[in-house]
């Protein structure tokens, strides 16, 4: 375990003006609070907070952050309190320690709903002081470095949480070195065989080719020397997990993987960055599509660098990053650069971003989402997204995640622009709204008054901002439509009992039914979540006719989203009372099939299109057409009597087609309008009982399937 004097020396190496007395007191206090506690490995527990503090000294962080690291487990695991820490070390440290404690208690790998709420709390904690996250990430890094002492099941849980949450978060705030180490430590737990296989291949490759990194480094240094550019060149092999991920994404083996080496060129000025780029491209062929200029278009976390991939020695692809020393410091520490010290002074790095502004851009729309799943979706999109940079017609830069479309671009400008978007031009050419944008393209959005977001847009956009705006607009539009429809349905229902549908009556019903207000009552009636009859039964229970209202044919099915329409499949012609399933068609709504329909075999490998549905309970009108296959005697008046028989069962014949005419029998298909499956059975039973009917069966025609 690092002693107090050694830790203080680490801090004073970069901050000679640090408050060594404060750090020494925090060290002593933490050691006393954790006295007697041990880790899973058997080491004194306090060795962990000290190690976390040492990790943060590598980022050259301020005294308050180092002290917080030493005390970060005291409130949770010892008799220490917030008030005591505030009294001993000040309000700033107490707030930071309390923030880390709250983050520790968040179960970020729990169920989806709880996980979403905890992510919300995580981002809110970040918005107060990002140093809380820096301490938490260092805490997780040390725990992963020492994870072997834990039970295997706990190792797997912590590793998955690290891979899913903490590693991407470290990358998002610009601490790429920490992201890579966290991923590799988690990879070692989750897939040790995969990791070992990558390492074995590296050893074999090095034995066959020698020290490729040193050779390529010397090549680059020689070219920069010729160009008169002073620079430091560093090379390294990529981490095992990074290589494994590339192999998985590209579905190729190690031998076919090319860019497994990365090199950094650190120069003195921004001009030298472009000079070094020219020297590299003059010597080696650039790989098309693998150039990114994050100097002219920096990432939101302050990251600046030029990235290029070239075909280097022996045709091997190598990735080269070019940046200045100041850019490199931000690239290594990310947002943490805001608090770093150099020679006792707060480092004034022109490329370090203001953490408060950065977190505000990340969280501005998260705290308005009511839907937990949507919030979680947006957070993960923001954490994992790589970026592309596109331009407005006026030359303004719009940053978007990779895979974004013109619709995302429109919503990034303004929600109003997105909502009214009707088309887009990319580099002057009209393109579909689902086109994936590329770096450097100019995008011109066309709008029209009266245009509203379409339900299909949800599948087109890639950003959380656009998805949230579209869903919000659709909900508002659907709600307004449902309220209007609900009021009309309620008016008709109230008329049947001689009453008027007043606001007071609806508010009274809402109170009795435990619903928010009258508009919510009307919205539920309009969306078929509730019937107008239920409202009347609540207000006037003795005035309702027991035979009840018939269910509207257009709202006969339960399980559709508000924007979806449905049609009955002509192959099986399902009727109320039968088990049904829906098959979704893009732009055509949902087709309803009987659960035993043979046409469903065609969709067995496309299960994401299946929609779980059932019929509304209640009285359905006789408006569902069913085809019956009849064989009847060829006699005088027989057909007329059969038609009368069907009419006596309160069913209407909508069509009749003769299939076969024989001297003694006719075979025909009769389309009958029915209310439900019981009505169908009654009609078929009546026909079967007639002496002139040789056979009656339901006609199923797979040739008529949708």
Instruction: Quote the tokens at residue 394.
Output: 């006026």
Of the three residues 524, 547, 570, the one that is the final residue of a domain is 547
Residues 542 and 561 reside in one and the same domain: no
Considering the domain boundaries, does residue 370 fall inside one? no
Residues 652 and 573 reside in one and the same domain: no
Residues 518 and 477 reside in one and the same domain: yes
Give the DSSP per-residue string, 457-484: HHHH--SHHHHHHHHHHHHHHHHHHHHH
pLDDT tens figures, 298-338: 877 778 899 998 886 666 778 899 999 888 888 877 766 66
Residues 222 and 305 reside in one and the same domain: yes
Phi and psi dihedrals of 432, rounded to 5?
-65, 155
Angle at 232 between CA 265 and CA 276, to 5 degrees: 45
Of the three residues 462, 481, 504, the one that is the final residue of a domain is 462
Residues 24 and 122 reside in one and the same domain: yes
Considering the domain boundaries, does residue 8 fall inside one? yes
Residues 184 and 212 reside in one and the same domain: no
Give the pLDDT of residue 480. Answer: 82
pLDDT tens figures, 484-519: 888 888 887 787 777 778 887 888 888 888 888 888
Q: What is the 3-state secondary structure (H, E, C) of 407-424?
A: HHHHHHHCHHHHHCEEEE
Give the pLDDT of residue 547. Answer: 44
Residues 129 and 167 reside in one and the same domain: yes
Residues 53 and 178 reside in one and the same domain: yes
Instruction: Quote the tokens at residue 238.
Output: 């990529």
Residue holding tokens 């009859």?
Answer: 533
Give the pLDDT of residue 561. Answer: 83
- Domain CATH for 85: 1.10.3210.10
Give the pLDDT of residue 346. Answer: 61
- Domain CATH for 449: 3.10.20.30
Residues 6+ apart with CB under 8 A from 307: 290, 291, 292, 293, 294, 319, 320, 321
Considering the domain boundaries, does residue 552 fall inside one? no
Pairing label, strands 387-391, 397-401: antiparallel
Considering the domain boundaries, does residue 364 fall inside one? no
Considering the domain boundaries, does residue 237 fall inside one? yes
- Specify the DSSP class assigned to residue 273: H
Give the DSSP per-residue string, 488-527: HHHHHHHHHTT----HHHHHHHHHHHT-S-HHHHHHHHHT
Report field, pTM of the whole predicted structure over 0.75: no
- Specify the DSSP class assigned to residue 399: E
Tally of domains within the chain: 6
Query: Which residues in the chain land under pLDDT 50?
Result: 110-114, 366-372, 375, 381, 384-385, 545-547
Alpha-carbon dihedral 641, 647, 648, 650, rounded to 10 degrees:
170
- Specify the DSSP class assigned to residue 166: I
Quickly list H helices, 129-257: 131-145, 152-161, 167-172, 176-190, 192-209, 212-226, 240-250
Of the three residues 282, 316, 346, the one that is the final residue of a domain is 346
Considering the domain boundaries, does residue 355 fall inside one? no
* H helix or E strand, kind and range, residue 346: strand 345-346
E-only strand ranges, 543-686: 557-558, 566-568, 580-585, 589-594, 610-612, 614-615, 624-633, 652-661, 665-674
For 704, the 3-state DSSP assignment is helix
Range of the domain at 597: 557-615
Considering the domain boundaries, does residue 58 fall inside one? yes
What is the distance, to the nearest Å, from the Cα of residue 52 to the centroid of all Cα atoms in its chain?
31
* 8 Å CB contact between 155 and 144: no
Angle at 554 between CA 551 and CA 558, to 5 degrees: 75
Instruction: Quote the tokens at residue 49.
Output: 């907070």
Residues 440 and 327 reside in one and the same domain: no
Q: What size, in residues, is the chain?
A: 706
Considering the domain boundaries, does residue 198 fall inside one? no
Pairing label, strands 589-594, 624-633: unpaired
How far is Cα 530 from Cα 521, in angstroms, rounded to an integer? 8
Residues 574 and 662 reside in one and the same domain: no
Distances (CA, A) of 347 to 336, 340, 357: 11, 6, 19
Residues 161 and 263 reside in one and the same domain: no
How far is Cα 426 from Cα 314, in angstroms, rounded to an integer? 39
Residues 39 and 180 reside in one and the same domain: yes
- Specify the DSSP class assigned to residue 552: P
How far is Cα 615 from Cα 560, in angstroms, rounded to an integer? 11
* Catalytic residue ranges: 76-77
């Amino acid at each position: 375990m690092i002693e107090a004097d050694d830790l203080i020396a680490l801090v004073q190496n970069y901050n000679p003006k640090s408050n060594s007395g404060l750090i020494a007191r925090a060290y002593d206090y933490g050691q006393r609070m954790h006295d007697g506690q041990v880790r899973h490995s058997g080491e004194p527990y306090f060795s962990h907070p000290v190690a976390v503090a040492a990790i943060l000294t590598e980022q050259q962080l301020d005294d308050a952050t180092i002290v917080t690291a030493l005390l970060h487990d005291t409130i949770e695991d010892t008799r220490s309190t917030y008030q005591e820490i505030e009294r001993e070390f000040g309000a700033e440290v107490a707030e930071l320690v309390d923030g880390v404690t709250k983050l520790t208690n968040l179960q970020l790998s729990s169920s989806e709903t709880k996980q979403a709420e905890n992510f919300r709390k995580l981002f809110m904690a970040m918005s107060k002081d990002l140093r809380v996250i820096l301490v938490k990430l260092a805490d997780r890094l040390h725990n992963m470095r020492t994870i072997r002492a834990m039970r295997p099941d706990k190792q797997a849980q912590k590793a998955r949480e690290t891979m899913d949450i903490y590693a991407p978060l470290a990358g998002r705030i610009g601490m790429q070195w920490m992201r890579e180490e966290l991923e590799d430590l988690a990879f070692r737990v989750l897939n040790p065989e995969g990791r070992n296989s990558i390492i074995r291949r590296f050893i074999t490759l090095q034995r066959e080719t020698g020290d490729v990194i040193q050779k390529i480094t010397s090549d680059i240094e020689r070219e920069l020397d010729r160009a008169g550019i002073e620079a430091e060149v560093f090379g390294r092999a990529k981490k095992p997990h990074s290589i494994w991920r590339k192999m998985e994404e590209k579905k190729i083996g190690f031998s076919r993987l090319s860019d497994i080496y990365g090199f950094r060129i650190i120069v003195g000025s921004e001009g030298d960055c472009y000079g070094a780029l020219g020297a590299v491209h003059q010597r080696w062929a650039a790989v098309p599509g693998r150039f990114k200029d994050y100097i002219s278009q920096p990432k939101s976390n302050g990251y600046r660098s030029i990235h290029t991939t070239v075909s280097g020695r022996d045709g091997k692809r190598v990735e080269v990053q070019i940046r200045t020393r100041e850019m490199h410091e931000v690239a290594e520490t990310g947002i943490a650069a805001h608090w770093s010290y150099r020679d006792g002074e707060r480092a004034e790095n022109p490329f370090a971003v203001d953490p408060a502004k950065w977190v505000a851009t990340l969280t501005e729309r998260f705290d308005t989402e009511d839907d937990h799943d949507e919030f979680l979706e947006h957070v993960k999109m923001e954490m994992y997204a790589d970026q592309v940079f596109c331009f407005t017609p006026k030359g303004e830069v719009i940053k978007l995640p990779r895979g974004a479309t013109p619709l995302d671009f429109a919503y990034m400008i303004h929600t109003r622009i997105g909502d009214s978007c009707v088309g887009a031009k990319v580099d002057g050419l009209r393109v579909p709204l689902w086109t994936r944008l590329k770096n450097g393209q100019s995008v011109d959005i066309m709008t029209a008054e009266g245009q509203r977001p379409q339900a299909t847009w949800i599948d087109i956009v890639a950003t959380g901002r656009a998805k949230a705006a579209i869903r919000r607009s659709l909900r508002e539009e659907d709600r307004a439509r449902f309220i209007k429809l609900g009021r009309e349905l309620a008016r008709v229902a109230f008329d049947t009992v001689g009453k008027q549908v007043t606001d007071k009556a609806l508010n009274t019903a809402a109170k009795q039914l435990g619903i928010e207000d009258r508009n919510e009552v009307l919205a539920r009636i309009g969306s078929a979540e509730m019937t107008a009859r239920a409202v009347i039964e609540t207000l006037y229970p003795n005035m309702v006719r027991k035979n009840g209202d018939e269910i509207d044919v257009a709202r006969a099915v339960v399980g559709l989203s508000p924007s979806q329409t449905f049609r009955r499949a002509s192959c099986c012609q399902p009727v109320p009372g039968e088990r049904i399933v829906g098959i979704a068609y893009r732009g055509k709504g949902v087709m309803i099939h009987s659960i035993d329909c043979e046409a469903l075999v065609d969709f067995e490998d496309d299960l994401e299109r299946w929609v779980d549905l059932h019929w509304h309970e209640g009285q359905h009108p006789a408006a569902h057409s069913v085809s019956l296959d009849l064989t009847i005697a060829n006699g005088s008046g027989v057909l007329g009597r059969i038609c009368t028989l069907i009419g006596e069962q309160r069913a209407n014949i909508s069509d009749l087609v003769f299939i076969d005419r024989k001297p003694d029998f006719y075979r025909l298909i009769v389309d009958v309008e029915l209310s439900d499956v019981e009505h169908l059975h009654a009609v078929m039973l009546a026909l079967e009982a007639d002496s002139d009917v040789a056979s009656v069966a339901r006609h199923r025609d797979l040739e008529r399937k949708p």
